[in-house]
Each structure stands twice: as structure tokens, then as C-alpha cells.
Amino acid sequence: MKGTLGFTLAEVLITLGIIGVVAALTIPSINQKISLNKNITSLKKTYSVLQQATLKVIAEHESPEYWTIADNDQDLVDDIYNYYKPHFNIMRECQNAPGCWGYPTKYLNGNVYWSNHVAGYYQYSFTLVDGVNVLLDIYDAGNSRSFGANVDYPCPVFWVDVNADKLPNQIGKDIFAFIITKKGLQPAGIDIDDEDGDCNSGGNGWTCTARIIRDGWTIKYSD
């Protein structure tokens, strides 16, 4: 009588152990790729939403060059938000208060930009129905140029956190900037070459938005 073919308990345990090791090595990278893909999809959608809203706002309130824009003025930030509000599907509004933005907010290099909410920031934060957190702020001329746009005047800026309150809350990874200029809504970094921006491991990450779009909606960082 021929013997029955099969696996010993030791062989089964060894095989399961190998499968477990392979899974432990590959699942994190798979999850990271899925997360990046979700962030890019959300960024594309939010860019479209902001762009369409900006076109409507300009049609209703003329070009931003005719708006009253100045840094450190909550009333002006509120006015700009109210221009946009009818064109957004909003789940919650926080104005200049906690609840619609994740802290701490970090630069791409890991340093902290905003450690927590401070009333003196003069911002307006809100959450869209798809869960994207948005923060509206006004930056003066010097800071506006830091967004990689050829401007010499104060500009409103939309910061978007594409995965809501989830980590890493890091500019250039899940937080991206769009600047409103006389040309309309522009991704931060639009007017500079990638090598001149700060989308690198040691940088702030402010100019990553335009780079991601130029790179075919993929996230790449300079050395």
C-alpha cells in the first residue's frame, strides 16, 4: 500500500512562518502606496473644486486684484471665505477656532509649522463634505513669494489637508497649498523650477503642489 502524501506539522509551521514574514515586509509598503494614491485622488478632486469655485467667485466679485487683501485681518479673511462659501459643499465650519484642522502641522522636513491653533493667526478653517479640511489665510508679499508665485502683493492661500485629521499632517505629503493671485487659483510652486523650490527632504514642502501636477500627479521629492 502506497504511503499517503502530505505535510508534516513542522513543514506547515515553517511555511506559515515564511508567509508571515513576507506579509510583514510587504503589507506596510502596500498600505503606504494605497494611502498615497488616495491622497493624490483627493488632491485632484479638491483642486478641481477650488478651481471651479474661484472662477465663479471672480465672475461675481471681479479679479482678486480688486479685493481688499491684507495680512493679519480676520474680517478680510471672513469676507473672502464668504465669497467662496456658496460654491462649496461644507460639512462643518470653524472660522478662527479649533475643530477643522489637524495639529501639529509640520513642514516636509518634519519641523513644526503650527503647533496648535492660535487666535492670532487670522484664519478660516472648514471641512468639505468629502472630509477634506481646508484652511484659508492671507499672506503678505514676502510670504506670498515663498509659495513659488511671481507676486509682490498679499494673497489669499488655501491650505488643504486631503486626508482630514489623519497623520502625518505634513506639508507636501497630505497638506498642499493653493494661492489666489491676479491669475486666479494657482498651485503653489507654479512660477519656479522644481530645483528652485522647497519640495525636498530638507525643505518646507510649500511648492510641492505644482511639482506633483507637473510630474503627472505623482509625489516626487528632490534630494
Contacts of 91 (CB under 8 A, 6+ apart): 127, 128, 129, 131
Nearest alpha-carbon partner for 205 in 175, 168, 161: 175
Q: Using CA of residue 189, residue 193, residue 194, residue 200, what is the dihedral sign? A: negative
> From CA 160, how far away is CA 178, in angstroms rounded?
8
Mean pLDDT for 202-217 is 94
Mean pLDDT for 153-164 is 94
Q: Does residue 153 contact residue 137 with C-beta atoms inside 8 Å?
A: no
Q: Residue 16's pLDDT is what? A: 66
Mean pLDDT for 124-148 is 92
pLDDT category at 15 given cuts 50, 70, 90 is low
* Model confidence pLDDT, tens digit, residues 66-114: 998 998 899 999 999 999 999 999 999 999 999 999 999 999 999 999 9
Question: What percentage of the chain reaches a pLDDT higher than 70?
Answer: 84
Q: What does the H/E/C string look like for the chain?
A: CCCCCCCCHHHHHHHHHHHHHHHHHHHHHHHHHHHHHHHHHHHHHHHHHHHHHHHHHHHHHCCHHHCCCCCCCHHHHHHHHHHHHHHCCEEEEEECCCCCCCCCEECCCCCEEECCCCHHHCCEEEEECCCCEEEEEEECHHHHHHCCCCCCCCEEEEEEECCCCCCCCEECCCEEEEEEECCEEEECCCCCCHHHCCCECCCCCCCHHHHHHHCCCCCCCEC
Q: Residue 24's pLDDT is what? A: 55
Q: Residue 22's pLDDT is what? A: 56
Question: What percentage of the chain reaches a pLDDT higher than 90?
Answer: 62
* Model confidence pLDDT, tens digit, residues 26-56: 545 434 444 667 899 999 999 999 999 999 9
Residue 26 CA, chain-centre distance (Å), reads 26
* Model confidence pLDDT, tens digit, residues 180-192: 998 999 999 999 9
Q: Residue 184's pLDDT is what? A: 94
pLDDT category at 5 given cuts 50, 70, 90 is low
Q: Residue 34's pLDDT is what? A: 42
pLDDT category at 11 given cuts 50, 70, 90 is low
Mean pLDDT for 131-142 is 94
pLDDT at 170 over 90: yes
Q: Residue 165's pLDDT is what? A: 82
